[in-house]
A and B are shown apart, each in its own frame.
Chain A
Amino acid sequence: QIQLVQSGPELKKPGESVKISCKASGYTFTDYAMHWVKQAPGKGLKWMGWINTYTGKPTYADDFKGRFVFSLEASASTANLQISNLKNEDTATYFCARSADVMDAWGQGASVTVSS
Chain B
Amino acid sequence: DIQMTQSPSSMSASLGDRVTITCQASQDIGNNLIWFQQKPGKSPRPMIYYATNLANGVPSRFSGSRSGSDYSLTISSLESEDMADYHCLQYKQYLYTFGAGTKLELK
Q: How far is the CB of B68 from chain A (nearest CB, A)?
A: 22
Instruction: Chain A residues near B101: list those with CB within 8 A.
Output: 44-45
- Verify if A61 is at the interface (C-beta below 8 Å from B): yes
Partner among B43, B45, B55, B97 whose Cβ is within 8 Å of the Cβ of A47: B97
Choose from B32, B44, B94, B95 the contact partner of A45 (Cβ within 8 Å). B44
Q: In the complex, how many angstroms separate the beta carbon of B31 from the nearest chain A beta carbon?
A: 11
Q: Are B87 and A45 in contact (CB-based, < 8 A)?
A: yes
Q: Which of B79-107 contact A (CB under 8 A)?
A: 85, 87, 89, 91, 94-101
Q: Contact at A102–B94, with CB atoms within 8 Å?
A: no
CB contact under 8 A between A95 and B44, given known A47-B89, A62-B1: yes
B34 adjacent to chain A (CB < 8 Å): yes
A103 to B88, CA, bound (A): 12
Give the CA-CA distance A47 to B97 in the complex, in Å.
6
Q: Which residues of A97-115 are within 8 A (CB) of B?
A: 97, 99, 101-104, 106-109
Known: A47-B89, A62-B1. A107 touches B43 (CB 8 A): yes
In the complex, are the beta carbons of B49 and A59 less than 8 A apart? Answer: no
What is the interface of chain A mostly: helix, strand, loop, or mixed? strand
Interface residues contributed by chain B, number (CB under 8 Å): 24
A29 at the interface (CB under 8 A from B): no
> Closest Cβ of chain B: how far from A5's Cβ, in Å?
12
Given contacts A44-B87, A109-B43, contact A103 B34 (CB under 8 A): yes
- Would A106 and B91 be within 8 Å (CB), given that A44-B99, A46-B98, A47-B98 are in contact? no
Chain A neighbourhood of B94, CB < 8 A: 50, 59
A111 to chain B, nearest CB (A): 10
- B44 CB contacts on chain A under 8 angstroms: 37, 45, 95, 97, 103, 106
Residues of B within 8 A of A37 (CB): 44, 98
**Interface residue ranges of A59-112 to B (CB < 8 Å):** 59, 61-62, 95, 97, 99, 101-104, 106-109
A23 at the interface (CB under 8 A from B): no
